[in-house]
Chains A and B, each alone.
Chain A
Amino acid sequence: DAGVIQSPRHEVTEMGQEVTLRCKPISGHNSLFWYRQTMMRGLELLIYFNNNVPIDDSGMPEDRFSAKMPNASFSTLKIQPSEPRDSAVYFCASSPGLSGDTQYFGPGTRLTVL
């Protein structure tokens, strides 16, 4: 298996633009997680899905952030409009979703908002 795939790997955009980050989880995994990592705040869980259903989005910073999982093999995280403080590395992770199962992380998308 190719592992968790994220695209793009790097994104540079200007303040006010819409940004869409994409994730393909490992086939057969039931849970998908979106994280944000910054020097100041460390690793933060933004939202996670189980069987394509959002379970907990309490980590989403504000209404500018939204996430979807239309099917078991694809998820998006959208920021509209983007702001410089959104600059971070965004990770997607997937898990089989059973007790004791680990999470498998993608390589991350480094977002820079100018």
Chain B
Amino acid sequence: GEDVEQSLFLSVREGDSSVINCTYTDSSSTYLYWYKQEPGAGLQLLTYIFSNMDMKQDQRLTVLLNKKDKHLSLRIADTQTGDSAIYFCAGDDYGSGNTGKLIFGQGTTLQVKP
């Protein structure tokens, strides 16, 4: 089955760009997602990319997908202290059929220093 891996921690200074990386094993995922979890809250969808796209931009967020290398990244421009959170990448589990099941990575804790 799908396996999704992320680095566990990233620290940046306010105003810098952050790049969070993710690798996955199953190239049959149709959609790949980025979720954000703020302290004491549940996961919230941040953005997603369809598997036939290479890039998606949404305001300060840029998602890059390299299907050949099975690599997904999330770039946050002009990172703010409010961006401090845990970021999860996820892929849909093609093998589970139309159930909405996702495979999540371990999460990357982003620390933004003022």
- B residues near A91, Cβ cutoff 8 Å: 42-43
- Asked if residues B48 and A108 are in contact (CB atoms below 8 Å), the reply is no
6 contacts between A and B (CB under 8 A): A42-B106, A48-B101, A50-B99, A55-B99, A93-B42, A100-B92
Which residues does B use to contact A, with CB under 8 Å? 30-31, 33, 41-45, 48, 50, 88, 92, 96, 98-102, 104, 106-107
Q: Is A34 in contact with chain B by the CB < 8 A criterion?
A: no
Residues of A within 8 A of B30 (CB): 99-100
Contact B100 A96 (CB under 8 A): yes
Q: Within the complex, which residue of A56, A102, A104, A107 is in contact with B33, where a contact is CB–CB below 8 Å? A: A102
Residue of B nearest to A106 (CB): B42
A104 to B92 Cα, complex, angstroms: 14
Question: Is B98 a contact of A97 with CB atoms below 8 Å?
Answer: yes
B-chain residues with CB within 8 Å of residue A98 when the two chains form the complex: 98, 100
For A50, what are the chain B residues with a Cβ–Cβ distance below 8 Å? 99-100
